[in-house]
Amino acid sequence: MTFQNLKYESKNKIAYVTINRPDKLNALNMAVMEDLRSAFTTINADAEIRVVILTGAGEKAFVAGADIAELNKHGVVSAKEYTHKGQSVLDLIENLGKPTIACINGFALGGGCELAMACTMRLASENAKLGQPEVKLGLMPGYGGSQRLPRLVGKGVAMQILLAAENISAAEAHRIGLVNEVVPLANLITRAEEIAAKIIANAPLAIQYTMEAVNHGMEMTLPEGLYLEATLFGICCATEDKNEGTKAFLEKRPANFTGK
């Protein structure tokens, strides 16, 4: 599979998606977004792929932001359509049912930070810088930054990041819960692969339903979320993987999950 703006490969049940515009610090334009849509649609349909590792080409940026030259051309109607298209790609990533690990290898600003927040978890290199600088351009986040950021770090901290438009370090991002771990740049992909291997060892449907329970449950009241959890738990109990997992546990052997 080849893309104009992405590098793509898969091995050991992991899909590696690398945004490949290093001369533009991997800035997002609509061509990149459509390549991401195509790649993640393909990943969604491929039962062999269990985890995605998403990063940017080079050592300077995950995604440094939106392509300002492209953004500058939009008026009110086209800008609304532009943001809806981008939001739909990030929604696809967030609700893929397969974990996506963002490896933030440098700048993750604006749309780059928003893309990372749509991923299931985030690892940052020690040189990473994250932020939402849109207000400096007379704009506001358009790919979910005003919504996902407060859900991840809390309203007050999110407001400071959004309104002051100051970049934060990887260490600060970790302190506030925006990234899961900070690791040396050279170890970033290796650490993501270690986490991916642990995920792959578990039951695919259980992973999918757990992600669904968390993603949708966060938008519900606690009683509604608990009802969703109980429903999905019941569905898990009807799967072959549940039978295999419990049998393997009792027999003290590794489980052989099939995603059925």
204-250 matches 6-200 in CATH topology: no
pLDDT value of position 209: 96
pLDDT in tens, 157-204: 999 999 999 999 999 999 999 999 999 999 999 999 999 999 999 999
CATH for 204-250, options being 1.10.10.350, 1.10.150.20, 3.10.580.10, 1.10.12.10: 1.10.12.10
Say whether 244 is catalytic. Answer: no
Residue from 34, 94, 114, 229 carrying the catalytic annotation: 114
The DSSP output letter for 96 is S
pLDDT of residue 2: 82
Alpha carbons 91 and 87: distance in angstroms, whole number: 6
The band of 72, judged by pLDDT with boundaries at 50, 70 and 90, is low
Residue 169 contacts residue 129 (beta carbons within 8 Å):
yes
Please, what is the average pLDDT of the chain?
A: 94
Catalytic residue (one of 134, 166, 181, 219)? 134
Class of domain 6-200: alpha beta
> Measured between alpha carbons, how far is residue 67 from residues 23, 32, 70, 257 in Å?
12, 10, 6, 43
Residue-range domain boundaries for the chain? 6-200, 204-250
For residues 130 and 108, is the Cβ–Cβ distance under 8 A? Answer: yes
Q: Is 114 one of the annotated active-site residues of the chain?
A: yes
Check whether 56 has a pLDDT greater than 90.
Answer: yes
Going by pLDDT thresholds of 50, 70 and 90, the confidence category of residue 54 is very high
Q: What is the mean pLDDT of residues 225-240?
A: 95
What is the DSSP secondary structure assignment for residue 129, as one 8-state letter? E
> Can you give the pTM of this predicted structure?
0.93
Question: What pLDDT is recorded for position 75?
Answer: 75
Confirm if 236 and 205 have CB atoms less than 8 A apart: yes
